[in-house]
Amino acid sequence: MATFVRNRVLNQMVWSAEEERQRVQRRETLCELDGLLTQLEEVNLRGGSIPTRVLVALRRRGVAFRPRTSAAELIEAVFVVQERFMRQPDGLHGAMSTTAGDLSRRLAS
């Protein structure tokens, strides 16, 4: 005998529509940031210096940092920038902006 389970979802999350061009650009940026994040994690594990090309790419993608910022601090800064490119369900915009802005200002100072 089969048993059927019925799920009812209340308060479903809804995302606003996004143009294809914007979607592609947002996803490309996130992919590039993921690649930079991987490189920073390798540097952090091995304890080496951060390659100049990585620093240039981070600045190009909007990651603000001081001259002697560690790889661990840059990893956190990348997370903050990635958050800007993540889509949030309608009604939840700005929920994390305070903490993200605080971290961004602290790393840039």
pLDDT digits (tens, 9 = 90+) for 25-54: 888 999 999 999 999 999 999 998 999 999
Give me the pLDDT at residue 10, please: 59
The residue that leads in pLDDT, 69 or 87, is: 69
Angular region, 94: left φ>0, alpha ψ -120 to 50, beta rest = left
What values do phi and psi take at 69, rounded to 5?
-80, 135
Look up the pTM and report it.
0.65
Residues 6 or more apart in contact with residue 60 via CB below 8 angstroms: none
Give Cα 32 to chain centroid, integer Å.
Answer: 10
Closest CA to 40 of 25, 27, 53, 26: 53
Interior/surface letters 5-37, b for 16+ CB within 10 angstroms, e for the rest: eeeeeeeeeeeeeeeeeeeeeeeebbeebeebb
